[in-house]
């Protein structure tokens, strides 16, 4: 029997994408295991979700480290000790540095709620609604040292003609949970 691939999921907030990935691992849709959840926001809802799935968490406060390199070194050690194959950023609202990239280049992916390269950043949906966009979308891409940059792996578009960001988030998240699991499955083959 081949060993299951090992995933780490990084998140800063609610963690619905984390949960979609963890659930797909638990019910066999993904032949993989989430071995670590990394969260930079003590108190974030994703921490409770990880507990429910019995998944180990590393929760840290960036403020309590002298630099990004310092906390990323600690994270890389944890990833290597657990032999992580793929790092999935799922609402992890930080740019990663060379420390993580050099250790896991080509093995870190991110999900973003726009059709990149349009609408990068933390307010992609709100910015797109303000712009009057009529076709929205979700992108999964390899991570590089730039904000929401890196080669695109998968995209899915959906039409929406209204002006309610909450509705775009709702429509988009349904798609995110499917496309993230599908993309991870393809990358792990
Ligand atoms: C997701 O919509 C994801 O696309 C977005 O954060 C949300 C996290 O939701 N990521 C970015 O904006 C990255 N720039 P979740 O915590 O419910 O998974």
What tokens were used for 11? Answer: 């998140």
pLDDT score recorded for residue 2: 73
Domain containing 134 — which CATH number?
A: 3.40.50.170
Residue 143's alpha-carbon distances to 27, 175, 184, in angstroms, are: 28, 20, 14
pLDDT of 78 strictly over 70: yes
| DSSP structural state of residue 44 | -
The total number of structural domains that make up the chain: 1
Q: For ligand 1, atom 9, which residue shows the shortest CA distance?
A: 91
Which residues constitute the domain of residue 103? 5-188
* H/E stretch holding 37: strand 32-39
Instruction: Report how far ligand 1's centroid is from the alpha carbon of 111 (Å).
Output: 7
- pTM greater than 0.75 (yes/no): yes
pLDDT tens-place string over residues 120-164: 999 999 999 999 999 999 999 999 999 999 999 999 999 999 999
Is 169 an annotated catalytic residue? no
Instruction: Report how far ligand 1's centroid is from the alpha carbon of 90 (Å).
Output: 6
Instruction: Report how far ligand 1's centroid is from the alpha carbon of 10 (Å).
Output: 11
Average pLDDT of the residues of the chain: 97
pLDDT tens-place string over residues 169-180: 999 999 999 999
């Amino acid at each position: 029997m081949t060993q299951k691939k090992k995933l780490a999921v990084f998140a800063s907030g609610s963690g619905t994408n984390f949960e979609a990935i963890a659930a797909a691992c638990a019910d066999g849709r993904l032949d993989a295991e989430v071995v670590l959840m990394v969260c930079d926001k003590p108190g974030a809802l994703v921490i409770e979700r990880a507990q429910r799935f019995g998944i180990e968490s590393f929760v840290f406060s960036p403020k309590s480290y002298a630099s990004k390199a310092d906390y990323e070194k600690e994270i890389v050690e944890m990833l290597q000790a657990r032999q992580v194959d793929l790092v999935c950023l799922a609402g992890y609202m930080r740019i990663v540095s060379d420390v993580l990239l050099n250790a896991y280049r080509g093995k870190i992916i991110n999900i973003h709620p726009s059709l990149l390269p349009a609408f990068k950043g933390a307010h992609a949906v709100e910015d797109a609604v303000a712009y009057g966009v009529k076709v929205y979308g979700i992108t999964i891409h390899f991570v590089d040292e730039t904000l929401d940059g890196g080669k695109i792996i998968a995209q899915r578009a959906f039409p929406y003609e209204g002006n309610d960001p909450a509705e775009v988030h709702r429509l988009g998240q349904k798609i995110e949970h499917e496309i993230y699991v599908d993309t991870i499955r393809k990358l792990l083959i």
